Amino acid sequence: MRRLGQIVLALAVLLPSWTTAAPAATLVPVGSFDQPIYVTSDPLDPDRLFVVEREGRVLVGGGGGFAPFADLEPLVSCCGGERGLLSIALAPDFPTSQRFYAVYTGTPAAGGAEGDIHVDAFRPAPGGGAPLRERVLTIGHSARENHNGGQLQLGPDGYLYLSTGDGGGVGDPDENGQDLGSLLGKVLRIDPRPGAEPGYVVPADNPFVGVSGADEIWSYGLRNPWRFSFDRLSGDLVIADVGQEVREEVDLGVSPAPEAVGGAGANYGWNCREGSIEYDDAPVSCEGRSGFTEPVFDYPHDDPGDGGAHGCSITGGYVVRDSGLPDLYGRYLYADFCVGELRSLVLSGPSAGPESDRPEGLTVANPVSFGEDSCGRIYVVSNGGGVFRLQGDFGPGCHSVPPPPAVPAATPVAGPPPLVILRARGGRGRTVRLIVRLLPCGTNGGAVVYLNRNGRAFRHKRLNRGCVARFRVRVGRPTRFRAFFEDQRSQVRTIAFAKPRP
């Protein structure tokens, strides 16, 4: 009689051909578009995505396809140089007002000169037709077609943040980056009042109110901060600033308190510095200047070898807070437009620094932007037309862990998270029993645990009162299993069958 051979259980590190080389996530296509440049989602419905196309269109949809949401083409100057519709941010009351903010380089029809930067609010017109426009802010930028910046984000403090480039040209010829009288080469912070005149007010605690003549400035010394983001858990401000000829950089403004934004008044150095080094062609006005905020990470244009980061134009992403991507959780995800390799690093804490930087085994042709939906899932946008979602072991669901509530000082701090243990026992034929146990059990009896097979969502089951769940599975070839409870995960177990004994 033939009988079942030996079941071999091994940690993933013992099987590099199956696990170590595998990426922490896969790229799942969302759709194909015409010059997509940004993606975000409805604040109440993360599956309702908004894709921005550079020529001036905003599309809305999801798994069932996309439909037009707003057409701003008559107002948008595109697509010379780096001009176009650059990004959008949905207003806090979007579910009821349908209002969104857009930043774009304008035609004369938008008011001002060709190429000026406009931030406007838009909402659907009653009965259809062109969306209603509510002007917010205009910044002169007609001289050159590049370095427009282009990110809009609502901060954890409720204010609207905008990044602007230095005005274009080589080396910031107008020296806007260091000029506190100019709104170019900056991150700006405003309180929009669409429909009013003027269309915004300046928050009273902006760092240069009454000092610079450009009260909107939050931080400065930037060349072309094409993309920045907020860590949805900590509130930290992360800026990816595109370099000149030598270095690309990541700047960090650490949040000082809950619902507060870091980086107030920071000078990130351009055009006196490029990344962490002195800029070769710095103007005379840089002599003797100090107090620059150094980048937390920068990388060269030349390939340093050994798999190190390099490229020509950084595309900033997000600190990953999707617990469906456990191997990326808490890491800052970014890419380079010229190389296409997705990479990540730790920005703060004891393990932070350049040594934490690593490739993620994923490549996208000319990644022009990242995006984050309202439950924390991450997207990457290719200049070639594709938009992709990063999907990990949990599968496509919404698995983001919300920020924990503030704990009063007198409240005891909770203990360590439970440990997820996954074991296997032989069954009949090629059937295997997988046993998931949670230690300590505490009050987790009845909670749901998830079982993944070869990196994909497979099954889920409720724990019994003893915090144990059992699964029966058939295995015909080496197969990796991992169990998850909330944002905790077990070690990978690989099950294989030896040649049956006679």
**Cβ atoms of 379 and 388 closer than 8 Å:** yes
Is the pLDDT at 160 greater than 70? The verdict is yes
CATH number of the domain at 319, please: 2.120.10.30
Of the given ranges (11-20, 27-36, 435-444, 451-460), which has the lowest mean pLDDT? 11-20
Q: Is residue 403 part of a domain?
A: no
Q: Are residues 262 and 205 in the same domain?
A: yes
Does residue 483 sit in the same domain as residue 343? no
Q: Is residue 492 one of the residues assigned to a domain?
A: yes
Contact between 105 and 76 (Cβ < 8 Å): yes
Residue 379 has pLDDT above 80, yes or no: yes
Are 68 and 138 contained in the same domain? yes
Q: What is the mean pLDDT of residues 61-85?
A: 95
Q: What is the mean pLDDT of residues 280-309?
A: 96
Is residue 438 very low, low, confident or very high in pLDDT (cuts 50, 70, 90)?
Answer: confident
What confidence category does residue 212 fall into, taking pLDDT thresholds of 50, 70 and 90? confident
User: For position 493, what pLDDT does the model report?
Assistant: 63
372 and 432 co-located in one domain: no
1 inside domain: no
Nearest Cα to Cα of residue 117 among 131, 128, 103, 130 = 103
Check whether residue 37 and residue 186 sit in a common domain. Answer: yes
Task: Answer whether residue 401 is part of any domain.
Answer: no
Q: 363-400: b or e for each residue (b if 16 or more CB lie within 10 Å)?
A: ebebbbbbbbbbbbbbbbbbbeebbbbbbbbbbeeebb
Report yes or no on 19 lying in a domain: no
pLDDT score, position 113: 97
Residues 57, 105, single domain; the answer is yes
**Are 323 and 207 within one domain?**
yes
Q: Residue 452's domain is classified under what CATH number?
A: 2.60.40.10
The predicted structure's pLDDT at residue 123? 96
Q: Are 268 and 239 in contact (CB under 8 A)?
A: yes
Count the neighbouring beta carbons within 10 Å of the beta carbon of residue 291. Answer: 8
Query: Do 40 and 108 fall within a single domain?
Result: yes
Tokens standing for 420?
């997820």
Confidence check: pLDDT of 283 > 60: yes
pLDDT at 104 over 60: yes
Are residues 324 and 263 located together in one domain of the fold? Answer: yes
Residue 409 lies in a domain: no
CB 370 within 8 A of CB 378: yes
Q: Percentage of residues in the chain with pLDDT exceeding 70?
A: 88
pLDDT at 439: 78
Q: Write down the pLDDT at residue 10.
A: 30
Task: Give the residue from 376, 391, 406 where a domain finishes.
Answer: 391
Q: Domain residues for 76? A: 24-391
Q: What is the spatial order of strands in the sheet that 431-439 belongs to? A: 419-426, 431-439, 468-474
Judge whether residue 500 has pLDDT over 50: no
Question: Is the domain of 378 the same as that of 421?
Answer: no
Same domain, 418 and 357: no
Q: Answer whether 326's CB lies under 8 Å from 393's CB.
A: yes
Average model confidence (pLDDT) for the chain?
87
- 85 lies in the same domain as 209: yes
Binned at pLDDT 50, 70 and 90, residue 350 comes out as: confident
Q: Give me 45's structure tokens.
A: 């419905």
**pLDDT tens-digit readout, 238-279:** 999 999 999 999 999 999 987 899 999 999 999 999 999 999
Tell me, yes or no, whether 240 lies in a domain: yes
Both tokens of 253, joined, read 């403004």
* CA neighbor of 189 nearest in space, from 178, 179, 204, 175: 204
23 pLDDT band, cuts 50/70/90, is: confident
Query: Using an 8 Å Cβ cutoff, are 331 and 322 in contact?
Result: no
Amino acid occupying residue 269: G
Per the domain annotation, does 406 fall within a domain?
A: no
Of the candidates 246, 242, 256, 253, the one whose C-alpha atom is nearest the C-alpha of residue 218 is 253
Query: Domains in the chain: how many in total?
Result: 2
